[in-house]
């Protein structure tokens, strides 16, 4: 698990931001001109894409800022906050699409299917290019994955708008436009789930996906010289940056520093955990103090 390449990610996000923002204006005009809700829904999604990409770029810039004594990890979680905001935005857009679609189903409006088809096809091309740029723009952080989900959902929206335009052109059935809009809304809503789940997982400091803390603890306590492992915590600082902290007790004759280095090697090789904080101490001798009862009938308790 490696930290994302923020320079490559920044370039990819910048290129896609220009593409999406420029075409969003075109699609808004096209949606108003043709009377197509599917185009307007797709345009609303593309406008949110532009805002999301701008937010992702800002978060990327903040994440590059160096750590300070008051912020020992810098502002790396700004990327996770941006991903969460993007996921919430997707939910809001889906709800707007549903409301508008149900209104159109109650009162269908005339649609200029020919121009609608042309604009929807152009939107598909733009979104396909944007998705390809983000997919090849370097290691994907959660922040970039959120932006990619926006673009992918919008690409599917363009496919839906194309289908609606073809149906209206060939059959004249005006309900195709709002019905396709509902499908676009469902796709947008579905695309929000993964990013909301992953960003909340990081913010709530759950164990990273793919790492079982119980298995980590078991492997640590099985290492030579280790007597006990407790206060074990495994969490994620930001995308590609898992961390572990634990208190380890080793036998009284063991070299604490050597055991710590061995555990660090184990965690790095078996679990890809490179940022570890291990407090290694000798296990206490629990027979150092013996307390007898007043009548001398034997020990009442023992410990340190």
What one-character-per-residue DSSP string does 109-146 give? ----HHHHHHHHHHHHHHHHHHHHHHHTSSSPPHHHHH
- Asked if pLDDT for residue 41 goes beyond 90, the answer is no
Domain ranges of the chain: 6-203, 213-289
Domain 6-203 shares a fold with domain 213-289: no
- Report in angstroms the alpha-carbon separations of 233 from 10, 229, 241, 277: 32, 11, 14, 10
Average pLDDT of span 62-80: 78
What is the pLDDT, as a whole number, of residue 205? 92
Q: Is 1.20.1510.10 the CATH number for 6-203?
A: yes
pLDDT digits (tens, 9 = 90+) for 107-121: 877 888 899 999 999
Average pLDDT of span 82-86: 82
Which CATH number fits the domain 213-289, given the four candidates 3.90.1150.10, 3.30.300.30, 3.90.1860.10, 3.30.2130.10?
Answer: 3.30.300.30
- Cα dihedral value 60, 61, 66, 67, nearest 10: -50
What is the pLDDT, as a whole number, of residue 14? 86
* C-alpha–C-alpha distance, residues 237 and 235, integer Å: 7
What does pTM read for this prediction? 0.71
What is the pLDDT, as a whole number, of residue 304? 39
pLDDT digits (tens, 9 = 90+) for 218-249: 999 999 999 999 999 999 988 778 999 999 99
* C-alpha–C-alpha distance, residues 24 and 28, integer Å: 6
Q: Choose the most confident range, by mean pLDDT, from 86-100, 138-152, 204-218.
A: 204-218
């Amino acid at each position: 698990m490696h930290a994302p390449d923020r320079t490559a990610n920044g370039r990819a996000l910048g290129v896609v931001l220009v593409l999406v923002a420029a075409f969003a204006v075109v699609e808004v005009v096209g949606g108003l001109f043709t009377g197509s809700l599917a185009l307007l829904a797709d345009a609303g999604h593309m406008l949110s894409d532009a805002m999301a990409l701008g937010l992702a770029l800002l978060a990327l810039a903040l994440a590059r800022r160096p750590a300070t004594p008051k912020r020992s990890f810098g502002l790396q979680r700004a990327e996770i906050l941006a991903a969460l905001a993007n996921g919430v935005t997707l939910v809001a857009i889906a709800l707007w699409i549903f409301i508008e679609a149900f209104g159109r189903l109650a009162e269908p409006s005339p649609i200029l299917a020919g121009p609608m088809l042309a604009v929807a096809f152009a939107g598909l091309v733009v979104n396909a290019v944007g998705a390809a740029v983000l997919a090849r723009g370097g290691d994907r952080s959660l922040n970039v994955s959120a932006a990619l989900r926006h673009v992918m959902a919008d690409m599917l929206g363009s496919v839906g708008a194309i289908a609606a335009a073809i149906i209206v052109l060939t059959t004249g059935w005006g309900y195709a436009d709002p019905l396709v809009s509902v499908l676009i809304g469902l796709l947008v809503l579905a695309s929000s789930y993964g990013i909301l789940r992953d960003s909340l997982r990081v913010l709530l400091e759950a164990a990273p996906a793919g790492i079982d803390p119980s298995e980590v603890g078991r492997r640590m306590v099985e290492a030579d010289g280790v007597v006990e492992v407790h206060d074990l915590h495994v969490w994620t600082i930001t995308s590609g940056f898992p961390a572990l902290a634990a208190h380890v007790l080793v036998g009284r004759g063991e070299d604490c520093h050597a055991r710590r280095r061995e555990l660090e090697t184990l965690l790095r090789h078996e679990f890809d955990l490179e940022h570890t904080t291990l407090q290694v101490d000798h296990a206490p001798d629990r027979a150092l103090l013996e307390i007898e009862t007043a009548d001398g009938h034997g020990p009442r308790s023992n410990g340190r």
